[in-house]
Structure 1
Amino acid sequence: MTPRHPTVLTTSAALALTLTATACGPTEPGTSNSSPGRPGGTYSVALTEPDHLLPGRTTSSYSLQVLQGLFDTPAALDPKNGNVRPLAATSWSTSDNTVWTIRFRPGTTFHNGEKVTAASFADAWNAAAYGPNGWDTNYYFSQIKGYEALNPAEEGAEPTARRLAGLKVLDATTLQVTLKAPFGQFPMLLSFPAFAPLPTAATADPDRHDTAPIGNGPYRLDGRWERNEKITLKKFSAYRGPRTPMADRVDFKIYTSRETAFTELQAGNVDILTTVPAANAPQARRLFGDRFSVRPSGTMDYLGLPVKDPRFDDPRIRKAISMAIDRKGITQAIYNGVYKPATSLVGDVIPGHRPDACGPTCAYDPAAARRLFDEAGGFEGTLELYFSNADTTYEQWMTSIANQLKENLGVKDVKFRKMAPADLSPLLNEGRNKGPFRQNWVIDYPSIQNYLDGLYYPGNRTGWSDKEFDALVKKGNAAQGAEAVAAYQQAEDIALRELPYIPLWNWQDQSAWSDRVADVVIDPYVSGLHLDRVTVEQ
């Protein structure tokens, strides 16, 4: 008999990259091991307050979970193995990894009835890529020809164009994309929500549609986003894509902490919690049994350092801070040993991950840390540590790090700067922080390149840049397979040598759900919970 409890799908370190230089045709979406339940019903998901709900404006995992139901991107990642497959597109092709032809599914509409066309994608991408708009996903479009004209490097210079030269609408369902240089992993990039289409009303008035987005996905917004309370989605009856929604309605209930959300899950007030606090893992395992899951993750935590601050511009200071941190002790005390101390910049489920890439720099050695710290001249002034209030464990591990830096390095004055994610993100993006900060990276697709480009993009939060690093990433982008991985690993070595981001630990995702829902599919990528597949026991 087929089990009725939800099935959670994951990946392994042998995850394959299946990008080709020829063409990719349509495939069926990945399926769980349990047969689909009956359609209909309503279920609820615990969520932290998002920052935006317009795809191009956000990289927040809280926002992206909602957008996963509202929008169909050109491509998607199979939750079984991470392979890229078409979604809003039907195929893509290239002969040189530079000029790509994308063909979109005909006959689909936005939630307001407007037809989804190739121009809908081009307009959305142009809006995100146009520098003066200030959208968070701007750099995701830097691979496309003409990006510099929309984002002049000279301070105070005005853009000389509003549209990417590399985008050409060939007909209603065909878009030609010309990149600045060969990029073999471009189809994977197309799975990120920033590449979703937008209707004309949204590109004309993005502020209005930031809280009331109009998508092309299996669910549409029901009412408006009620800040700090809830977001409700309902089935889009005119949906013609491949992700047929099972439930009629999804209620996102917004909580200020995961601990509160876990209490609500126990009380039966919410059905799915995708991020059970590590401290509650033993209790969750006991209470939920086979409805509790621990899975390998591509998510990493780092301590970012503002290298433009003279106090942090010496790599020896950064390495000393890293060596003064007891990763194993912190993950044991705060995360019950579920999270793994980081020895690399990338998650261990990623092809090309090296288990000891960081070497002694990421090993706890307080004596060596103090010698290096003193040799570099030490640290003067108040050490301010920035983190969000989304999870109580953030303050717990920041407290541990603060105490270890005081004890091991002799830092005397430490102050916490704790704030809401929606406030912290723009502060860090604009470089207004005066000290180290918590940086999290949720993998978009299974490639070392995603970490390197995602963390070290030009103008990144640390302010660090390196020409040799950039050249190696570019070399990897132009290659495929083992050659690409080798170039990315060399770039990783440079980032670890300079250490603007200190790797801390690799997450292991923990989720739990009520007995009201079944057929739960959660992957370690940006999609997270596949909203369309969940069924409700009726």
Structure 2
Amino acid sequence: MLLLAATACSTTLAREPAAVSSKDPLDLAVWVGPSPTLHPHRANRQLTAALFSPLVVVDPESRLPTWGPDVPGALLESVSSEDLRRWDLGVKEGWTWHDGSPVVAEDVARGWQAAIDAGLPIVSTITDIRVRDKTTLSFALAAPYGQLPALLADDAFLPLPPMALADPARFAEAPIGNGVYRLAGREGDTLLLDAVPDHPAGAPATGRLLAVRTDEPSVEQQVVVVPDGVLELPGDAERDRVLRAPGRQLAYLGFPLTDPRFADPDVRVALAQAIDRDALVDLLPEGAAVPADRLLGPGMARSDGPVCMACAHDPARAAALWAPPVGPLSIWFVADAGHDAVIDAVAGAWSTVLGVDDIQLATLPAEDLLGRLAEAEVPGPFRLTWAADTPSPSRLLEPLFGPRGSANDFRYRAEGVADALAAADLERDLERALEAYGVVEQQVLDDMPLVPLWFSTVGVAMDGDVTVEVDGRGLLDWASLDRS
């Protein structure tokens, strides 16, 4: 239930952004890739990071959510709960939308209700949203969950101004935001962004810039942002420097554990240790990925403990453990997705190290492969990726290895994992929760229902005189963009 004041339609809408003029003084042009809409629930996330400020800030080192008076970039003053099911949020005073109206608790509730109505999965367990006053709202979850603060960094939780409901079509084209940049002009796929000089998060280093939404960058853009999971820089993206920041995508080979040929853990470990991950990463564009040595990559909040013994390339041990499955070995992967060289290398390693001569490569369109996995109709290892929507370890471990995980295509049902995940989800302290999730991660690594291959990176290619940072969400830190 959403309680909102009935004043949304009376709000004056901001004027239409002016057309971009070639006479405008521009310091930087940034290519962010296609974005048919600017609505924050559906837009290119890099653009959303410029136009909208998050409820919580993800620390770039710990990957944990932060908020409160000492975190100027976070909209929330407080996040609290007594039972981890009913939560209370306090919104900071002094924040405004780009039209000058205040950002209030009602705006947060409006944004969440829009996300719920749109069917965005990350908000699916939220119920009973209540606006207490201008700075306070409360809500309930379907079940207690200690990782709720980490989820608040996702775009689905962004507040929306009254304009988003009063004129949704216009809002999608020219939104009123509350971020460090405001939309000042637009011409086709090119957006003119002006810095908000008195923004609570701090004044951006560059006063005016262009954001370009074309399919490919050109030499006119001094900065090219390559999304997490996109391994290769798009055409015409050669620049003097490339910054690579940790992403949140894990590439892996999964085992169908319902197939008795892969029921023996030693067989799975042998297949894992026969693979040289460093050699696989060398087949990818330079810097696009780092070899996986566990399940949670450096772009995720994680503990220091888990160790993946089977992630180490050890041909001698792999050969000693190997017990050949009956019949030919097949490897399944998505067709026409650039996976051929990696799969050929995996097949070559299994042939050389384990003596497997009959290896069949099976490709399917992505939708067909996922459909067959859902019906347990893939008779062999399969190459997939999982990208966590937030840095919370829960958002990778639960879907992949939970008993009801949406991506548990392995049919993994190890004793104790469900209880350990539930215990970690109920940990109130976010740092202690990392240790609890580490216990889950270690058990999964010991069982090896999948072979971790690599972690993706976020790329930013730039001219030599440009400086920029990537934030804890893996998004461009727009306020840091500068050109000497």
Q: When the two structures are superposed, what TM-score results if normalisation uses the length of structure 1?
A: 0.64
Q: What corresponds to 2:123 in structure 1?
A: 141
- Distance in 1, Cα, partners of 2:89 & 2:408: 35
Contact 2:334 2:369 in 1 (8 A): no
- Distance in 1, Cα, partners of 2:307 & 2:482: 42
Q: What corresponds to 1:192 in structure 2?
A: 154
How far did residue 491 of structure 1 move? Answer: 1.1
Contact 1:211 1:224 in 2 (8 A): no
Of 290, 299, 302 in structure 1, the residue corresponding to residue 251 of structure 2 is 302
Of 271, 280, 285 in structure 2, the residue corresponding to residue 330 of structure 1 is 280
Q: What corresponds to 1:492 in structure 2?
A: 441
How far did residue 172 of structure 1 move? Answer: 2.5
- Distance in 1, Cα, partners of 2:106 & 2:344: 50
Q: What corresponds to 1:460 in structure 2?
A: 406
- Distance in 1, Cα, partners of 2:400 & 2:319: 25
Q: What corresponds to 2:384 in structure 1?
A: 438
Contact 1:305 1:318 in 2 (8 A): no
* Equivalences for residues 276-425 of structure 1 within 5 A: 288=240, 291-293=241-243, 297=246, 299-303=248-252, 305=254, 307=256, 314=263, 316=265, 319=269, 321-334=271-284, 339-348=289-298, 350-354=301-305, 357-360=307-310, 363-365=313-315, 368=318, 372=322, 374-375=324-325, 377-378=326-327, 383-386=331-334, 389=337, 395-404=340-349, 408=354, 409-417=356-364
Kindly indicate whether residue 23 of structure 2 is the aligned counterpart of residue 41 of structure 1: no
Contact 2:108 2:157 in 1 (8 A): yes
- Distance in 2, Cα, partners of 1:304 & 1:506: 13
- Distance in 1, Cα, partners of 2:183 & 2:375: 34
Q: What corresponds to 1:534 in structure 2?
A: 481
More helix per residue: 1
How far did residue 439 of structure 1 move? Answer: 0.8
How far did residue 429 of structure 1 move? Answer: 11
Q: What corresponds to 1:250 in structure 2?
A: 210
Q: What corresponds to 2:418 in structure 1?
A: 470
Contact 1:42 1:251 in 2 (8 A): no
How far did residue 68 of structure 1 move? Answer: 0.9
* Equivalences for residues 6-45 of structure 1 within 5 A: 41-45=26-30
- Distance in 2, Cα, partners of 1:49 & 1:383: 33
Q: CA RMSD in A?
A: 4.7
How far did residue 378 of structure 1 move? Answer: 4.9
Q: What corresponds to 2:220 in structure 1?
A: 269
- Distance in 2, Cα, partners of 1:203 & 1:253: 25
- Distance in 2, Cα, partners of 1:120 & 1:322: 49
Distance 1:231 1:514, change over 3 A: same
Distance 1:90 1:487, change over 3 A: closer
Q: Where does the alignment leave 5 or more consecutive residues of structure 2 unmatched?
A: 1-24
Aligned length: 439
How far did residue 401 of structure 1 move? Answer: 2.9
Q: Which amino acid aligns with 1:475?
A: A
Q: Which amino acid aligns with 2:418?
A: D
Contact 1:108 1:239 in 2 (8 A): no
- Distance in 2, Cα, partners of 1:97 & 1:235: 43
Larger radius of gyration: 2
How far did residue 74 of structure 1 move? Answer: 0.9
- Distance in 2, Cα, partners of 1:352 & 1:300: 18
Identity of aligned residues (%): 22
How far did residue 396 of structure 1 move? Answer: 3.8
Of 522, 525, 531 in structure 1, the residue corresponding to residue 470 of structure 2 is 522
Q: Which amino acid aligns with 2:179?
A: G
Distance 1:352 1:127, change over 3 A: same
- Distance in 1, Cα, partners of 2:38 & 2:375: 23
Contact 2:250 2:453 in 1 (8 A): yes
Distance 1:272 1:482, change over 3 A: closer
